[in-house]
Structure 1
């Protein structure tokens, strides 16, 4: 009887083990597929320097080389002042880093905020690694790495612990300009398809 109960438990837990195995394989496969084999070869370690429109199309991040690392800050954002939907106390005021875990920093404007730090180019795997990215939406900082998909698109991967446990965002290179007739202050390096 005892042998039968162990066997039943094993049979019931087997689907869970199989499911967990497939989840792990799918996650690893997805991460590997996201990473790819790196067919694009950047022209130099400074190939990520420039202005990048974020995937949500509401901000431009300027990546620059500072000493031996690459950093990025918010150069432009679609909404740099609060609107009526944010309430009468905020309406018309400059958007600030109000989710920062440090209360002393919550009044600093988001435009100009440095949110990428510590990236170093690793030529062997053609990535900028060892970075940290700050998410002003939740006030958290994550590990990050960047890979160029081509000369005008990059993929930033933010993660906790190991890069397998994270998410990607794709940014597009832009050229900043003086807005014409209320237009946007940038031109896409390669027009969207």
Structure 2
């Protein structure tokens, strides 16, 4: 029994290590190797209802809400809110609950680690629950970003994937951005 358990652990360790150190993508092409500033730009969140602008500020990378699909409350939010600008109503600090979500800085402290090709030691604010989480970011490709938020250790958290967009002047009936095409 102990031998089988050790063998299983060895196989698992090899699989994990090979996945972490592989420089070949699943399709046989060379894996994407990012540079520190590749994270800079506009990113459509997975739910497709907001665009986050990431920029370099000093030695770190930060992001703020550039655009939201719903920047005003609707009738479903109640008569008292209907038509008003969406604010940070879930913030634990009552003094901050009236600040608009558009323009809100929600990513801070990210620094690039070229050794593991990740932006680490960041913090991400979740306006849906008013909590701030630790986070790291990894680019899956030039136009796909994975953000992983967690409490304590990275293993206990969740990830989301964002897509790079190019903002444009709004056209009636259309979104104010276009998805960037994957790098060839």
Bin of the TM-score, shorter chain as denominator length: 0.7 to 0.9
Which structure: larger Rg?
1
1:19-46, Cα deviation, whole Å (9 max, x unpaired) = xx9xxx9xx99xx69x85473201x201
- Equivalent residue in structure 2 for 1:185, among 150, 167, 176: 176
Q: CA deviation at 1:181?
A: 2.3
1:39-58, Cα deviation, whole Å (9 max, x unpaired) = 3201x201000000000000
Give the structure-2-normalised TM-score: 0.83
- Equivalent residue in structure 1 for 2:151, among 150, 153, 160: 160
Q: For residues 181 and 44 of structure 2, what CA distance do their matches in structure 1 show?
A: 12
Q: For residues 178 and 85 of structure 1, what CA distance do their matches in structure 2 show?
A: 29
Q: CA deviation at 1:179?
A: 1.7
Unpaired segments ≥5 residues, structure 2:
24-30
Structure 1 position 130 matched with structure 2 position 124: no
Q: Tell me the equivalent position of 1:173.
A: 164
Unpaired segments ≥5 residues, structure 1:
1-20
Give the structure-1-normalised TM-score: 0.79
Give aligned pairs, total.
162
Q: CA deviation at 1:180?
A: 1.6
Q: CA deviation at 1:190?
A: 1.9
Aligned-CA RMSD value: 2.0
